[in-house]
Amino acid sequence: MRVGKPLILAVDDVEENLNTISEILRRNDFDVMVAPSGKVALKLLERRKPDLILLDIMMPEMDGYTVAGIIQRRQEWQDIPIIFLSALADVDAKVKGFEVGGVDYITKPFMEKEVVARINTHLELSWLRKSLEHTINQLREANQAKDEFLRVISHDLRSPLSSLANLGDLLQRDDIASDPESVKEFGKVLSEVAQQLLAMVNDLLDVAKIESGKFTLNLSEVNVIDIAQRSAELLQMNASAKKVHLGTDFSNSYVPAVIDAAKIAQVINNLLSNAIKFTHPGGTVTLRIKDCGDTVQLQVSDTGIGIPEEMLPHLFEKFGPHQRPGTEGEKGTGLGMPIIKGFVELHGGTIDVQSTEGEGTTFTITLPKRLPTDVGKSEQSYECTDGSDSDSQ
């Protein structure tokens, strides 16, 4: 849909004709640029691109056909509709106009209703063409994303499914089936692989629901500190196994907010898991919670390997180029970041990432304590202004 008044460039070497056409255009709610020659018209095009050009044919130095030919050779101008203006009425003149890129032809003297009708028709056709091209590009990108999605999913599913098949074959062997310890060990591995597959399926379902707009939040007033503490305790074993120090820093013991507790817990768990994943043994991961009055700030920082600057713009893409193993080869589903972003935005919140390669990363999430009534309609902007900025581990 067009925004604002359409801009028309009128080109004619006769001042009286320019005045007449300008009056007609302004009277019918168009913005107007005028040029007394083809050379001036081309200079104006360098400064500002119009929605349509009214171009006289018979002009000295450079006629309309020549001007149209130059416009058509410039890629950024090729989509501008050109309507020729001329006293010439013979068929050959009209055909030549269409051959050099014209979309229509108006014969002088001008009839206001005809001029306006033809302009509106070609503006609408131009807008529809651009809209169709945009839609086609979106569909092409969506198809490419689907192909990439299927490629990655097929690759990521193949390994655990192969493991399950191999484990099933091994458990059918008499020497293993008769050994309780072997059965127990293989059963443990089988369970871990199944959990890996289940996590991937759950992530896929979450992303699909978020993108379809059908995700419903289960809101209730809870203490964010309780959620954060449980998440930290849950990930403490992972951190200890990797010899990474996981610490907490809470500004208060009670920070109430109306949120979907399970989804925010998933956000914190994902952030902590990633921080541990990308931190070398001996490093530190810290979960901070700040009460900022009308908002609550969740922050996860680490002293890990950091994120390369070129990867940051792609961080929240599904299976984006940012995907890489952890410091000890740990792998993920490739969907954690888009899920985090989706859940945060469903709450009307924001997420910020600051990272220095080789030094560490800090994710800062700011959530309103109560869901805004206009969530999803515009970007929210929050700032934690309570002044609490502790660095304790």
Q: Which pLDDT tens digit goes with each residue over 316-346?
A: 876 555 566 556 555 555 577 888 888 898 8
Q: How many CA atoms lie within 13 A of 388 on its CB side?
A: 16
The Cβ of residue 147 has, within 10 Å, a number of other Cβ atoms equal to 10
What is the band of 389 on the pLDDT scale with cuts at 50, 70, 90? very low
What is the band of 268 on the pLDDT scale with cuts at 50, 70, 90? very high
User: What's the confidence (pLDDT) of residue 38?
Assistant: 93
User: What's the confidence (pLDDT) of residue 384?
Assistant: 64
Q: How many CA atoms lie within 13 A of 294 on its CB side?
A: 8
> 176-190, 263-277, 340-354, 365-379: lowest mean pLDDT where?
365-379
User: What's the confidence (pLDDT) of residue 224?
Assistant: 94
User: What's the confidence (pLDDT) of residue 166?
Assistant: 80
Residues 229, 308, single domain; the answer is: yes
pLDDT beyond 90 at 96: no
Question: Percentage of residues in the chain with pLDDT exceeding 90?
Answer: 41
Mean pLDDT of the region 64-87: 92
The answer to whether residue 374 sits within a structural domain is: no
Residues 291, 334, single domain; the answer is: yes
Residues 304, 241, single domain; the answer is: yes
User: What's the confidence (pLDDT) of residue 289?
Assistant: 94
User: What's the confidence (pLDDT) of residue 172?
Assistant: 84
Residues 178, 225, single domain; the answer is: no
Distance, in Å, from the CA atom of 266 to the CA atom of 338, rounded to the nearest integer, reads 12
Q: What is the pTM of this model?
A: 0.52
pLDDT in tens, 160-180: 677 778 878 888 888 888 888
- Residue 237 is part of a domain; what is its CATH number? 3.30.565.10
Distance, in Å, from the CA atom of 175 to the CA atom of 186, rounded to the nearest integer, reads 13
What is the band of 97 on the pLDDT scale with cuts at 50, 70, 90? confident
Higher per-residue pLDDT: 377 or 112: 112
The answer to whether residue 377 sits within a structural domain is: no
User: What's the confidence (pLDDT) of residue 385?
Assistant: 53
Calculate the average pLDDT of the chain. Answer: 83
What is the band of 372 on the pLDDT scale with cuts at 50, 70, 90? low
Q: Which domain holds residue 179?
A: 147-201
- Residue 83 is part of a domain; what is its CATH number? 3.40.50.2300
Residues 102, 173, single domain; the answer is: no
Burial class of 76 by CB neighbour count within 10 A (0 to 12, 13 to 18, 19+):
exposed
User: What's the confidence (pLDDT) of residue 225?
Assistant: 94
Q: Domain tally for the chain?
A: 3
What is the band of 376 on the pLDDT scale with cuts at 50, 70, 90? very low
The answer to whether residue 280 sits within a structural domain is: yes
Residues 356, 236, single domain; the answer is: yes
Q: How many CA atoms lie within 13 A of 2 on its CB side?
A: 15
User: What's the confidence (pLDDT) of residue 374?
Assistant: 47
Closest CA to 30 of 143, 116, 155: 116
